[in-house]
């Protein structure tokens, strides 16, 4: 998150990718995050990291990667509002530039 605040989206992508890898490999840590991480967050850390990666792609002019990732997120997490609205925005702005 520090890298995002500094607008260093490439570095942020590296950290979020590591986070996704970790929580994919150790999904039990994320599943039981209320106990393991003392977090009551509704959204899993893996899901958050994927959303943050997609956001970083959108900030680095990699809109197609962002769009693909938001679509992947919605397949895995169909109720993810961030991915839904972000994808909707991408599609709206893409249609306006045609």
Q: What angle do CA 60, 44, 39 make, to 5 degrees?
A: 115
Task: Supply the pLDDT for residue 1.
Answer: 87
Task: Supply the pLDDT for residue 87.
Answer: 92
> Which among 27, 26, 30 has a CA at the least distance from the CA of 45?
30
Residues 11-67: pLDDT tens digits?
999 999 999 999 999 999 999 999 999 998 889 999 999 999 999 999 999 989 999
Q: Give the H/E segment covering residue 43.
A: none
Task: Supply the pLDDT for residue 96.
Answer: 58
């Amino acid at each position: 998150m520090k890298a995002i605040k500094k607008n260093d989206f490439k570095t942020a992508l590296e950290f979020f990718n590591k986070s996704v890898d970790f929580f994919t490999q150790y999904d039990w840590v994320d599943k039981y995050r209320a106990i393991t991480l003392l977090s009551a967050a509704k959204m899993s850390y893996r899901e958050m990291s994927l959303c943050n990666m997609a956001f970083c792609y959108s900030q680095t002019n990699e809109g197609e990667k962002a769009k693909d990732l938001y679509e992947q997120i919605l397949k895995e997490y169909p109720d993810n509002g961030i991915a839904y609205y972000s994808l909707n925005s991408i599609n709206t702005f893409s249609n306006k530039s045609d």
